Structures are given as structure tokens and as C-alpha cells.
């Protein structure tokens, strides 16, 4: 009689675990949703030709670059090779105090304008400062005042992005069609084994901003942003988000506050990038910088569902370990493989990862938890983080912002 009670308790716990995992698995599909893809076969609605700027250009590409000698050349090759078939854009590379050959590589490409970012003011993040100065350079080169050039399109592109032929036209065509801010999350190409650690981060990032749902997203992805000069001026541009570490998320919120739309597309076959080719340290620093800030901007229901999904991933892993020890191995293995299959599908949508990345997802899960704790500690407790060789003092930035308001 007494021996039956522990067994009944164990059966009840197992049932609860199974229900929890199945619920989490279903929520994974629901929260990820169906993100829209940037596709060349989607024709924008016909519009009248944009008014020409004084220099006859309709697009300005701004590339903030800090120590990007290893990747910048590829992007510039893509953009300049595409010129023959597209309207010639103004291409500006903003060298953000690089200590490598970034500026030399950009200067060697015909038709590319290289400007150096002035010294970083207190209260600004490096990327926002570079983007802001890139827009100022475009204004000077095109002879625009703040009241002119409303139809000029601005396209901000990170230096590690690669673009297929015609991709720029698709980006600017869709932005012209839907208006507001268009954000493209490139297809993540993971080459080396350590780069597979970014897998879960990519999926959770899509979930967090709500990119797969019809409701407005809660943020944006910074690698490719397209907007008009008029709308950029209307929201205050990067000056309005100068203190924000996750400037892409903050900029999207400024657009929505101004009544403008924010739309997210996945890069798929047209736009990709390799995020952290310089090593594990760069990968950890990159995700640490953004993740806590991104979580704080996520809607509470989405955040709760995402946490439940991530917890279910961990529960399935522990269940498999328990099964190997002799407790319902086939059942726990089936649950684990259901999550492996789900991750395989989701990862295929966001990037190009190795076949074994999904099978070994517990390794990525441990990395995710470690980075999230580290990001939370640095953002909320230490009030500082680090990126691109700079220490970002969040307390100093907040003080600078408050002093300007008073």
C-alpha cells in the first residue's frame, strides 16, 4: 500500500512533465508565427517616380564600419556590382575610428564615399553616432536641407551583410510600397562550429519582436534598415536613440510613437550575413549587448510564452537524461526528437546551420541561459556592457540624456 504511493506520485509528475513539454512545443510554433520573407517576386504597388534630388539620386546607402576590414569588401562588391542594373545609389562608408584597414578598403572602391566619424560624444553609442554622421554627409553631398529630399530613401546596412543581385531594389521597392521603417533580418550563415551557438538566439529574437504575427512588432533588426529621409527626420533619426544600446529596437519604437509603420522581413535568399566570424568572445559580447534590452521591450504575453518554450526545451533534455537512466526512454526520446524536429524547421527559416545543431540544442541552451544572465547582470546591475572594443557606460549615458531634458 505504501509502495504504491511513490509510484503514483512519480506517474503524476511524469504526466505533468509531458503535458508541459507538449504545451511548450505547441507554443513554439505559435510564438514564432509566420515571418514574412523578402522576396524578389513580390512586386511593389506602382508609384510615381520619386522626386529626384539635386544630384539626381534617389537612394543613399550608409554603412557604419568599425574594424570591418574582414567583411566590408564583400558588401561593397555586392553593391557596386549591382549598379549596372539599378539606379545608382550614393554609397557612404562611415569609418568609426577603425584601427585596421577598413578605411583603405572602402577608399579603394570606385564610387564609394568614405567619411570619418568625429570623436564620440558623451551619451552616444558608436553605431548611432556613425549612422547620424552618415546621414549628415548624405545631406552635404546632395545639397539637401532638412526641408528637402523627403523622397530620398536611406538604407542603413551593417558591414558584414551580403546582398544578392537585385536585393537592394527589392528592399527599397518594398519600403516605398509599405512606407515607414523596413527592417530586414539577414539569413544567418554559421560556418565554424562555435557559430552554431547563435542558433537559439536567432529563433528567440524572431519570437521576441513578434515578427511572425500581424500585430506591429516591438522592435526591429539593425543589419538592414530602410526608410525615407522625411520619416527619419520626423522621428529624430539616430539622435533620438543615441543613448540606447539596442538602437534598432529603440528606433522602431520612435517610428511607432510617431504613427509610422514598422515592418520586418527575413533576408532568406537575398540578404545574408555571418555575424561573429572573429571568435567565441565576439559572439558572447554581441548577444550580451542586445539580449536583456530586447527582452525588456517584448510584450509580456510573448515573453511568457517564449520563456515557457525555452523551459520546455530544458525539460525535454532532462527527461531524456532520466530516460537513459531507465525511466520511459522511448517516451522521453520521442519528446526530445519532437523539439529537435521543430528546431530544424525554425532554424532553416532564420539561417544556415549545421545538421547537428538541432540535435545538440542543449549546448546552445546552456549558452543562452549563461548569456542571458550575463546580459541582465551587465545591463541592470553593473550598468555597463562592451562591444567593438568599447566599454559602454549605461549610467553615464542615462545621466547625459537626463541632463539634456532638464
As a three-state string, the secondary structure of the chain is CCCHHHHHHHHHHHHHHHHHHHHHHHHHHHHHCCCCECCCCCCCCCCCCCCCCCCCCCEEEEEEECCCCCCHHHHHHHHHHHHHHCCCCEEEEEECCCCCCHHHHHHCCCCEEEEECCCCCCCCCHHHHHHHHHHHHHHHHHCCCCCCCCCCEEEEECCCEEECCCHHHHHHHHHHHHCCEEEEECEEECCCHHHHHHHHHHHHHHHHHCCCCCCCCCCCCCCEEEEEHHHHHHHCHHHHHCCCCCHHHHHHHHHHHCCCCEEEEECCCCEEECCCCCCHHHHHHHHHHHHHHHHHCCCHHHHHHHHHHHHHHHHHHHHHHHHHCCCCHHHHHHHHHHHHHHHHHHHHHHEECCCHHHHCHHHHHHHHHHHHHHHHHHHHHHCEEEECCEEEEHHHHHHHHHHHHC
**Percent of the chain at pLDDT exceeding 70:** 81
- pLDDT of 391 > 60? The answer is no
- Does residue 160 contact residue 186 with C-beta atoms inside 8 Å? no
- pLDDT of 354 > 80? The answer is yes
The DSSP bridge partners found for residue 64 are 94
- Averaged over 371-383, what is the pLDDT? 72
- Averaged over 196-222, what is the pLDDT? 93
**Highest mean pLDDT: which range of 48-57, 77-86, 190-199, 237-246:** 190-199
Identify the residue with better confidence: 106 or 275. 106
- pLDDT of 235 > 90? The answer is yes
Q: Is 51 exposed, middle or buried (0-12, 13-18, 19+ CB in 10 A)?
A: exposed
Query: What pLDDT does residue 101 have?
Result: 95
**Alpha carbon distance 355, 287 (integer Å):** 23
Among 3.30.420.40, 3.90.550.10, 3.20.20.190, 3.30.700.30, name the CATH number for the domain at 59-278: 3.90.550.10
Q: How many CB atoms lie within 10 A of CB 198?
A: 24
- Does residue 275 contact residue 267 with C-beta atoms inside 8 Å? no
Identify the residue with better confidence: 335 or 379. 335
- pLDDT of 69 > 50? The answer is yes
294-342: pLDDT as tens digits: 666 788 899 899 999 999 999 999 999 888 877 788 999 999 999 999 9
Query: What pLDDT does residue 5 have?
Result: 52
21-62: pLDDT as tens digits: 999 999 999 999 999 999 865 544 444 444 444 555 589 999
Residues constituting the chain: 406
Q: Kindly indicate the confidence band of residue 89, based on its pLDDT and cuts at 50, 70 and 90.
A: confident
Identify the residue with better confidence: 184 or 146. 184
- Averaged over 364-373, what is the pLDDT? 90
Query: What pLDDT does residue 11 have?
Result: 66
Contacts of 39 (CB under 8 A, 6+ apart): 170, 268, 270
Identify the residue with better confidence: 39 or 354. 354
> Of the given ranges (81-90, 209-218, 259-268, 275-284), which has the lowest mean pLDDT?
81-90
Query: What pLDDT does residue 198 have?
Result: 93
- pLDDT of 165 > 70? The answer is yes
**Alpha carbon distance 126, 118 (integer Å):** 10
**Percent of the chain at pLDDT exceeding 90:** 63
265-301: pLDDT as tens digits: 999 999 999 988 888 888 888 787 767 666 667 888 9
- Averaged over 126-141, what is the pLDDT? 94
Identify the residue with better confidence: 45 or 139. 139
Query: What pLDDT does residue 397 have?
Result: 47
> Of the given ranges (37-41, 120-124, 158-162, 363-367), which has the lowest mean pLDDT?
37-41
- Look over the chain and give the mean of its residue pLDDT values, rounded to a whole number: 85
- Does residue 194 contact residue 23 with C-beta atoms inside 8 Å? no
Q: Where are the domains of the chain?
A: 4-34+297-405, 59-278
- Does residue 77 contact residue 68 with C-beta atoms inside 8 Å? no
Amino acid at each position: 500500500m505504501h509502495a504504491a504511493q511513490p509510484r503514483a506520485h512519480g506517474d503524476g509528475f511524469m504526466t505533468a512533465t509531458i503535458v508541459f513539454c507538449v504545451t511548450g512545443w505547441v507554443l513554439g510554433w505559435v510564438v514564432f508565427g509566420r515571418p514574412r520573407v523578402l522576396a524578389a517576386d513580390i512586386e511593389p504597388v506602382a508609384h510615381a517616380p520619386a522626386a529626384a534630388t539635386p544630384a539626381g539620386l534617389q537612394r543613399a546607402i550608409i554603412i557604419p564600419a568599425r574594424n570591418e576590414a574582414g567583411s566590408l569588401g564583400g558588401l561593397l562588391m555586392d553593391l557596386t556590382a549591382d549598379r549596372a542594373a539599378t539606379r545608382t545609389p550614393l554609397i557612404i562608408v562611415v569609418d568609426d575610428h577603425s584601427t585596421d584597414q577598413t578605411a583603405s578598403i572602402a577608399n579603394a572602391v570606385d564610387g564609394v564615399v568614405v567619411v570619418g566619424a568625429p570623436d564620440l560624444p558623451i551619451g552616444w553609442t558608436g553605431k548611432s553616432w556613425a549612422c547620424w554622421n552618415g546621414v549628415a554627409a548624405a545631406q552635404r553631398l546632395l545639397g539637401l536641407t532638412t526641408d528637402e529630399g523627403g523622397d530620398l530613401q536611406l538604407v542603413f546596412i551593417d558591414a558584414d551583410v551580403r546582398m544578392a543581385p537585385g536585393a537592394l531594389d527589392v528592399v527599397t521597392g518594398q519600403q516605398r510600397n509599405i512606407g515607414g521603417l523596413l527592417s530586414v533580418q539577414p539569413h544567418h550563415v554559421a560556418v565554424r562550429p562555435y557559430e552554431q551557438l547563435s542558433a537559439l538566439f536567432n529563433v528567440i529574437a524572431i519570437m521576441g519582436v513578434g515578427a511572425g504575427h500581424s500585430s506591429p512588432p516591438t522592435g526591429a533588426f539593425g543589419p538592414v534598415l530602410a526608410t525615407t529621409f522625411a520619416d527619419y527626420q520626423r522621428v529624430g533619426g539616430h539622435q533620438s536613440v543615441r543613448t540606447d544600446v539596442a538602437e534598432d529596437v529603440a528606433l522602431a519604437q520612435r517610428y511607432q510613437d510617431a504613427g509610422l509603420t514598422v515592418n520586418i522581413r527575413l533576408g532568406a535568399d537575398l540578404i545574408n550575413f555571418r555575424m561573429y566570424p572573429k571568435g567565441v568572445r565576439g559572439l558572447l559580447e554581441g548577444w550580451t549587448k542586445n539580449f536583456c534590452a530586447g527582452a525588456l521591450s517584448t510584450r509580456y504575453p510573448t515573453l511568457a510564452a517564449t520563456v515557457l518554450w525555452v523551459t520546455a526545451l530544458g525539460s525535454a533534455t532532462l527527461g531524456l537524461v532520466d530516460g537513459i537512466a531507465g525511466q520511459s526512454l522511448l517516451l522521453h526520446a520521442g519528446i526530445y526528437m519532437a523539439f529537435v524536429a521543430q528546431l530544424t524547421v525554425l532554424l532553416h527559416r532564420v539561417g544556415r546551420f549545421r545538421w547537428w545543431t538541432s540535435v545538440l540544442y542543449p549546448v546552445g541552451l546552456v549558452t543562452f541561459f549563461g548569456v542571458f544572465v550575463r546580459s541582465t547582470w551587465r545591463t541592470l546591475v553593473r550598468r555597463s556592457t562592451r562591444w567593438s572594443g568599447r566599454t559602454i557606460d549605461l549610467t553615464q549615458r542615462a545621466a547625459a540624456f537626463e541632463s539634456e531634458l532638464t
